[in-house]
């Protein structure tokens, strides 16, 4: 599948908030925290039009049944459950919102990826650390954006696009962990 990277859309946070509100309303008390992570969470960063959410549960036991159109996907990543919800009404190219906005279901026009992790690992999750680091360092954000656009323009598929970003992501996550006095870990979870 061809990867599309769009310029930052200020509507992305509203899509994320709608998806978060829907999850919390459907599952009161299940998630101890839910946040918008990934490129669409970073103002000014070009991104694939996909909303990434990370949610913490008290204990990571059996995979919770989420419903709401989310499908559990076996990614092989340890200590996390990954759910994907495809684009809903109002979706355009690659799941992006059409000119009409979020569609009839309010935040469902864009695809959503939901990462469920344990509360014990929440504070040191690389996705959260990277989001925060790029938000504090505009030059790093811009460098990452240029790389994403180059990889997409070169016609990379999803796997090669992701692997093409790994070196730079690792450098930024290492810097973020260094700033916080945390041990360095690989960003490639297998």
As a whole number, the mean pLDDT across the chain is: 89
Cα 148 from Cα 156, distance rounded (Å):
10
Q: What is the pLDDT of residues 138-158, one digit of tens each?
A: 999 999 999 999 999 998 888
- When mean pLDDT is compared across 31-35, 77-81, 131-135, 167-171, the lowest value belongs to 77-81
Q: What is the pLDDT of residue 86?
A: 94
Residue 113 pLDDT > 90, yes or no? yes
Which residues does 169 contact at the CB level (< 8 Å), separation at least 6?
130, 144, 187
Q: What are phi and psi of 134, to 5 degrees?
A: -65, -30
Q: What is the pLDDT of residue 89?
A: 58
Residues 52/127, Cβ–Cβ less than 8 Å = yes
Query: 43 vs 77, which has greater pLDDT?
Result: 43
Give kind and range of the element (H or E) at residue 142: helix 138-153
CA angle, residues 3, 18, 189, in degrees to nearest 5: 45
Residue 126 pLDDT > 70, yes or no? yes
Cα 147 from Cα 128, distance rounded (Å):
20
């Amino acid at each position: 599948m061809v990867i599309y990277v769009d310029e930052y859309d200020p509507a992305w946070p509203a899509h994320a908030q709608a998806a978060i509100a829907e999850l919390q309303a459907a599952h009161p008390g299940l998630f101890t925290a839910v946040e918008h992570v990934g490129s669409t969470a970073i103002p000014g960063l070009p991104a694939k039009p996909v909303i990434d959410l990370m949610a913490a549960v008290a204990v990571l036991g059996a995979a919770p049944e989420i419903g709401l159109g989310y499908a559990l996907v076996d990614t092989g990543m340890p200590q996390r459950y990954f759910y994907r919800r495809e684009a809903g009404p109002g979706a355009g190219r690659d799941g992006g919102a059409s000119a009409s906005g979020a569609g009839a279901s309010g935040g469902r026009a864009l695809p959503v990826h939901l990462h469920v992790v344990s509360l014990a690992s929440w504070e040191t999750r690389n996705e959260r650390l990277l989001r925060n680091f790029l938000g504090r360092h505009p030059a790093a954000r811009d460098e990452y954006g240029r790389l994403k656009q180059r990889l997409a323009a070169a016609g990379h598929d999803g796997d090669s696009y992701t692997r093409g970003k790994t070196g730079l992501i690792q450098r930024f996550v290492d810097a973020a962990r260094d700033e916080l006095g945390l041990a360095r870990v690989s960003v490639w979870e297998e």
